[in-house]
């Protein structure tokens, strides 16, 4: 469901909400049924909660409202304004605040301050929803309905820029899906260059398998030492060691909006291992993009690069052709693997860097 520019998914049903309201009412009744407390609803968000709460609280009580505002869009502005002050004479009464939601606790702090110079009998706070993970206040919440994770919600009085208050259920902001890409291309096709642009543009983490290997070996990590033991014996590093290194990279970068895998997978077996690992993280490859370029163009590029960098494998045309052959042999089956899943895309890698980036972006934006 869309509200303004954002998408929301169902989070709590009407029944779940009403059960939570009843729980709060029952808990408060246990403590206050023998007196006449005054409930203070915090507008606007709490109007539905207060209404259902009072239907569930069938004991003597009074009710009034205050109005505050601190939210702009999805985040608290930090500035809490009092728009409607306590009007009733509440001196000497037991005051119970009814909040729809407690998030950072700034609004609550302001409320507590508001009541601090009034001589009340007792002061309690009840909130239907409570984001305990992000609550920064010192005041312990006396009663709450449901402890919810730190995700923006709408419905049942709560709004996103004033819309959504009238929903009977509560919806949660849908996190934008991750974009996980595999970048293919022969040596010289521009994978590294394009990965730099894509990672900026889409907040992705670029995982270059070569870099990850060099990092682990250079820093003598457990996996680096293990990999080195194979290399020193002239053996290929087993896939599971490589996969473990990649797993660590993914786990270290959980906040990324996605990953660009570069240099891995190189075989179908590796692609299967990568899929299996991503599945355990609730992730998947969204697209595999091959940067295509004519061999003769690439050879010229690599020879140029070899002159500048001094990399010996970039200076010998035969060696370059061998690397191309290897790519052709191994990537062909991989292409089928991803094509069967409808994830394979091919992009012309010849032209100005900007133009190639634009072609890649066009593919990514269809995902």
Which active-site residues does the annotation give? 191, 266, 305, 311, 323
Considering beta carbons, is residue 106 or 206 the nearer one to ligand IMP?
106
Site for ligand IMP (CB under 6 A): which residue of 52, 100, 262, 314? Answer: 100
Q: Which residue intervals of the chain are DSSP H helices?
A: 14-32, 47-56, 106-116, 191-202, 209-218, 222-232, 239-252, 268-280, 295-309, 317-340, 353-364
Site for ligand IMP (CB under 6 A): which residue of 152, 277, 324, 327? Answer: 152
- Binding segment for Mg ion (CB under 5 A), chosen from 70-78, 183-191, 241-249, 278-286, is 70-78
Considering beta carbons, is residue 108 or 241 the nearer one to ligand IMP?
108
- Binding segment for Mg ion (CB under 5 A), chosen from 42-50, 133-141, 246-254, 315-323, is 42-50
Least CB distance to ligand IMP at residue 105 (A)? 5
Residues numbered 157 to 216 that lie near ligand IMP (CB under 6 A) are 158
Least CB distance to Mg ion at residue 159 (A)? 5
Binds 258: which of ligand IMP, Mg ion, none (CB < 5-8 Å by kind): none
How many chain residues interact with ligand IMP (CB under 6 A)? 18
- Binding segment for ligand IMP (CB under 6 A), chosen from 17-25, 98-106, 203-211, 351-359, is 98-106
146 scored as a contact of ligand IMP (CB under 6 A): no
- Cα 30 to Cα 57: distance, rounded to the nearest angstrom: 11
- Cα 345 to Cα 44: distance, rounded to the nearest angstrom: 49
32 scored as a contact of Mg ion (CB under 5 A): no
Residue 28's Cβ-count burial label (10 Å; 0-12, 13-18, 19+) is: buried
In sequence order, the 6+-apart residues with CB closer than 8 A to the CB of 167 are 154, 155, 156
Look up tokens 């660009």; give the residue.
Answer: 260
Contact 42, 98 (CB under 8 A): yes
Considering beta carbons, is residue 145 or 349 the nearer one to Mg ion?
145
In sequence order, the 6+-apart residues with CB closer than 8 A to the CB of 3 are 154, 160, 161, 163, 164
Considering beta carbons, is residue 103 or 262 the nearer one to ligand IMP?
103
129 scored as a contact of Mg ion (CB under 5 A): no
Q: In the structure encoding, which two tokens stand for residue 306, read together?
A: 């070899």
Contact 315, 303 (CB under 8 A): yes
Binding site for ligand IMP (CB under 6 A): 45, 70-71, 76, 99-108, 152-154, 158
């Amino acid at each position: 469901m869309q509200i303004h520019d954002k998408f929301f998914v169902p989070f709590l049903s009407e029944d779940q909400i009403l059960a939570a309201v009843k729980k709060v009412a029952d808990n408060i009744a246990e403590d206050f049924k023998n007196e006449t407390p005054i409930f203070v609803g915090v507008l606007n968000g709490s109007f539905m909660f207060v209404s259902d709460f009072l239907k569930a609280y069938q004991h003597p009580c009074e009710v009034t409202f205050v109005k505050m505002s601190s939210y702009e869009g999805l985040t608290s502005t930090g500035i809490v304004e009092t728009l409607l002050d306590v009007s009733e004479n509440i001196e000497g009464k037991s005051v119970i605040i009814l909040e729809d939601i407690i998030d950072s606790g700034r609004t609550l702090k302001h409320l507590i301050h508001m009541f601090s110079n009034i001589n009340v009998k007792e002061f309690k706070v009840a909130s239907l929803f409570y984001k305990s993970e992000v609550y920064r206040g010192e005041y312990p919440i006396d009663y709450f309905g449901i402890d919810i994770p730190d995700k923006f919600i709408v419905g049942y009085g709560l709004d996103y820029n004033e819309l959504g208050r009238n929903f009977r259920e509560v919806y949660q902001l849908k996190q934008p899906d991750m974009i996980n890409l595999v970048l293919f291309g022969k040596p010289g096709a521009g994978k590294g260059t394009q990965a730099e642009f894509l990672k900026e543009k889409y907040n992705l983490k670029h995982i270059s398998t070569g870099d990850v290997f060099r990092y682990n070996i250079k820093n003598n990590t457990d996996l680096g030492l293990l990999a080195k033991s194979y290399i020193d014996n002239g053996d290929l590093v087993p896939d599971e060691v490589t996969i473990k290194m990649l797993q660590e990279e993914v786990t270290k970068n959980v906040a990324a909006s996605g990953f660009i895998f570069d240099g891995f997978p190189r075989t179908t077996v590796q692609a299967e291992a990568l899929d299996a690992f991503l599945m355990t993280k609730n992730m998947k490859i969204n697209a595999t993009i091959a940067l295509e370029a004519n061999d003769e163009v690439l050879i010229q590029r690599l020879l140029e690069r070899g002159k500048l960098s001094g990399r010996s494998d970039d200076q010998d045309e035969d060696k370059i052709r061998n690397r191309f052959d290897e790519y052709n042999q191994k990537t062909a089956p991989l292409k089928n693997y991803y094509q069967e899943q409808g994830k394979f895309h091919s992009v012309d890698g010849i032209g100005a860097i900007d133009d190639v980036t634009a072609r890649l972006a066009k593919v990514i934006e269809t995902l």
